[in-house]
Amino acid sequence: MTDQRPFYVPVGDEEKVFTAAFRQGLALLLKGPTGCGKTRFVEAMAYDLGRPLITVACHDDLTTADLVGRFLLEGGDTKWVDGPLTRAVREGAICYLDEVVEARQDTTVVLHPLADHRRQLPIERLGIVLDAAPGFCLVVSYNPGYQSVLKDLKDSTRQRMVAIELDFPSPDVEEKVLCHEAGVDHERAAQLVQLGQVIRRLETAGLREVASTRVLIAAARLHREGVPLAAAVRAAVTGPLTDDPVVTAGLTDLIATYLGDGE
Amino acid sequence: MEHLRLLASAIAGQPLEVLRSEPPEPPWTDGRTIHLPAGMNARDDVRAVAVQAALVGAGSLAPDVMRRLVRRPAQARRYLTSEGRRALSECEDLLPPAARALIGRGGSDLPPAFGTLRPRRVLAAAEERTPADVAVAGVGDASATRVSSLDDDDEGVGPGEDLGQLFSNQAGSGGPLGRLLARLLAPARGRTGDGPVGAGTPSRSTARRPGAGRPTTVVLSPGAGDGDAAGSEATGTWYPEWDVRRGRYRDAWCRVAEHDAPLDDRAAAPRFDSTALRRPLARLGAGLEPTRRQRDGEDVDLDAGVEAWVDAAAGANPDDGVYLTKLRHRRDLAVLVLLDTSGSAGEPGTGGVPVHDHQQRAAADLVAALHDLGDRVALYGFNSRGRTAVQLLRVKAFDDHLDAASARRFDGLTPAAYTRLGAAIRHGTAILDARAGTPHRLLVVLSDGLAYDHGYEGRYGEADARRALIEARRRGVGCLCLSVGATGEPAALRRVFGTAAHASVPRPDRLPSLIGPLFRTALRSAEAQQRVHQRRHRARQHAFVARMTG
């Protein structure tokens, strides 16, 4: 745990809801687009609540054993190794499963007894049932726009969670975030935020995602190191967004339209 | 231009198209497309786009307001002056610096950047959109251009106004009268009528969107003014054709040429919407299988563990692959989608929407879904003008990206000419053979099943198409034939596609429930056929070798 609170500016009542859910031992579901600050929010809350945070980035080959633990062979002996979820349950930590939809559906089922009133983790391979230590809190994040049909959370999983919906912060908050995270002045931050707003309104086939707060921060940081603003935006925003040469060229010109006069 | 399109879409909060108008006229919009005069500098372009897009975004072009401004040019001007400023200030945060200066400027005169307001064009465009969003841009599209070509003076009472209004109503609903009018009113169409099979079948030459600056190819006689057809004289691949009457192949009978589908210069990129089809397609052959002797896994693989222990005890170097895990197996699938773009696809299908629109929608969804799942996928349109002019129109080759360019080629597909199904299928199979590069290959034919070309009618055409499908399966290419939105008789479809996996659905949204089993059947039958064929082939070779050596 760091000794300073991770910088997070609330956009609504999410901090209050999180704290209440934590106290009541409820599991949390964070919804929101990539790069809107879900992870940062959890870090800040873990700091406020004084609990260690264990983060697992979920991927599509994540198995139950990856979360719970497994036996390893060492010489002629088998040795049990706790997975991150088991560790959190034992220590009473906040366990944050990032992009939980990515995990296989048979994997998410292991969360069920933990997420409801039982607060237990059955470990089949050891033949035991662990009661969650006080302070344990399960937090999962999920991006509804992303692969939502192919991979969706089971209703039985969702039912066990309290949902907090996050979105990109309002322009003035986002400006503040940029100033703090990248140390750029307000004028630059405002320019970047405006560009972000513009790009988020585009519905173009070639765009994989929209310009998140995260990519805007990256652009601001590049600029802070002396990269001209337009080039920084090209590197941090346009490049990651699309591979399509036509859309890239269009976006580059669009950026020049907005930043050209400011340079 | 692309950046102006993006700018307009961002400010309006909805996809907008930006076009240069010919001849130059002050900037205006119909609520869907912004028309800009050529020859303005970059700053004026940006300003004009910002104003027009702001009007769209702020809802200033609402039909009830527009109706009151029709034929009242002075009021329209005043409205534009005040409303333009209001709209701009409403989206001030989104405006580029160049356009922001427009807000502060007071006075009651109309700044040139504001352009003009054309209430009737806005109304005409709005009317097209309302009838249940007739798939993409249907017949109604033509009405706007038709209205303008009939009366040039937008604000005045043009001679063709009543006719135009009647037409836009009718065409908007996609009714038969609208199409009839579309045909009657269509400006110079390149229909010569002396084509090989054109005479007497005018309904097959339906052009969906004539005018509007798009190259409309409704040329029935080969080579008459059609660059593509002329180009194919020189190149192309020859394929045999099955002559059912004589029971043998006609060698090198059909010439198939590949061209790029024409770029559509105006349409907004279609939404490649893959969500509905992704789920059924994802399940194809992508299960988890327990795999032994992995270096990493959920459980200990006991056999491997014991062996490793024995090895270690015996002083040998034990293998550290002692775990058991479940691995996902890749399916290595390549799919080529052939889209029938013959004139018959322009006929109205389910719900009065052209079959072509239904098929295009299905093709787009399918390609997007497969692409998203990581399969190799290609999309070609096809039609023909006689046996020496069979065209495959490339929308997306296997190695092309699914990008804006392919989306524009996709939009550029317009129904024209005829259907020599067999030749198209043979060439599609050849492409799969040469360029797919995967063990599993699948050919998807989206067509109404009407095999029809010069000397390719009825039983002959059907038999050849059926034969071509069998040939494809023998080469290990699975075939899947889909008829979407066509109202033809199912018996004909069965005659052509009967040996392959096939289905006929009234609308693209019915595909998701069918597509999984169809794909599975098609792939399985290809594998079975290929095995049988190879076994026979080997048996024949053995017999031949035995004869020679014996």
- pLDDT in the model for residue B191: 37
On the question of pLDDT at B154 being above 60, the answer is no
Question: Which residue does chain A place closest to B328, by CA atoms?
Answer: A61
In the structure, what pLDDT confidence band is assigned to residue A41 with cuts at 50, 70 and 90? Answer: very high
User: In terms of domains, do A68 and A106 share one?
Assistant: yes
A170 in B contact zone (CB under 8 Å): no
The pair phi, psi for residue B535, each rounded to 5°, is -65, -45
In the structure, what pLDDT confidence band is assigned to residue B195 with cuts at 50, 70 and 90? Answer: very low
Q: Are strands B33-37 and B17-21 parallel, antiparallel or unpaired?
A: parallel
**Rounded Cα gap, residues B495 and A186, in angstroms:** 71
For the residues B199-228, what does the mean pLDDT come to? 36
The verdict on a CB contact (< 8 Å) between B299 and A125 is yes
Domain count, chain A: 2
**Rounded Cα gap, residues A164 and B425, in angstroms:** 53
Select the residue of A194, A203, A257 nearest B46 (Cβ to Cβ).
A257
User: In terms of domains, do A46 and A147 share one?
Assistant: yes
Query: What's the pLDDT tens digit per position in B91-111?
Result: 888 899 888 888 776 666 777
Query: What's the pLDDT tens digit per position in A150-205?
Result: 456 778 888 899 999 998 999 999 999 999 999 999 999 999 999 998 888 886 55
Contact B336, B346 (CB under 8 A): no
Q: Which superfamily does B331-534 belong to?
A: von Willebrand factor, type A domain (3.40.50.410)
Least confident of A196-205, A251-260, B10-19, B333-342: A196-205
Three-class DSSP category at B259: strand
Question: What is residue B262's DSSP assignment?
Answer: P
On the question of pLDDT at B344 being above 90, the answer is no
- pLDDT in the model for residue A151: 58
Q: Of the candidates B297, B294, B308, which has an alpha carbon nearest to the alpha carbon of residue A125? A: B297
What are B254's strand-pairing partners?
B239
- Residues shown for chain A: 263
Query: What's the pLDDT tens digit per position in A43-82?
Result: 999 999 999 999 999 887 788 899 999 998 887 788 999 9
Is A1 among the domain residues? no
- pLDDT in the model for residue A232: 94
The verdict on a CB contact (< 8 Å) between B403 and A246 is yes
User: In terms of domains, do A54 and A158 share one?
Assistant: yes
Least confident of A165-169, A201-205, B204-208, B481-485: B204-208
Select the residue of A60, A65, A257 nearest B298 (Cβ to Cβ).
A65
**Rounded Cα gap, residues A210 and A222, in angstroms:** 19
Query: What's the pLDDT tens digit per position in A91-129?
Result: 999 999 998 888 877 788 899 999 989 999 999 889 999
CATH of the domain at A121: 3.40.50.300
The verdict on a CB contact (< 8 Å) between A63 and B298 is yes
User: In terms of domains, do A61 and A151 share one?
Assistant: yes
- pLDDT in the model for residue A81: 94
> Which has the higher per-residue pLDDT, B51 or B405?
B51
pLDDT averaged over every residue in chain A: 88
Is A91 among the domain residues? yes
pTM summary value: 0.62
**Domain end among A165, A194, A222:** A165
A247 in B contact zone (CB under 8 Å): yes
Select the residue of B98, B271, B401 nearest A257 (Cβ to Cβ).
B98
**Rounded Cα gap, residues B430 and B425, in angstroms:** 9
Query: What's the pLDDT tens digit per position in B230-249?
Result: 333 457 899 999 998 888 89
Q: Of the candidates B151, B125, B154, which has an alpha carbon nearest to the alpha carbon of residue B140? A: B125
Select the residue of A71, A198, A244 nearest B10 (Cβ to Cβ).
A198
In the structure, what pLDDT confidence band is assigned to residue B286 with cuts at 50, 70 and 90? Answer: low
**Rounded Cα gap, residues B497 and B464, in angstroms:** 11
**Rounded Cα gap, residues B64 and A45, in angstroms:** 51
- Give the H or E element holding residue B89: helix B73-90
- pLDDT in the model for residue A57: 92
Is A8 among the domain residues? no
Instruction: Name the packing angle between helices B404-411 and A245-259 (round to 10°).
Output: 110
User: In terms of domains, do A156 and A63 share one?
Assistant: yes
- pLDDT in the model for residue B130: 56
**Rounded Cα gap, residues B177 and B172, in angstroms:** 11
The domain in which residue A85 lies consists of 14-165
- pLDDT in the model for residue B535: 76
Rounded percentage of chain B residues whose pLDDT exceeds 70: 76
The verdict on a CB contact (< 8 Å) between B3 and A253 is yes
User: In terms of domains, do A208 and A84 share one?
Assistant: no
Domain ranges of chain B: 2-130, 288-328, 331-534
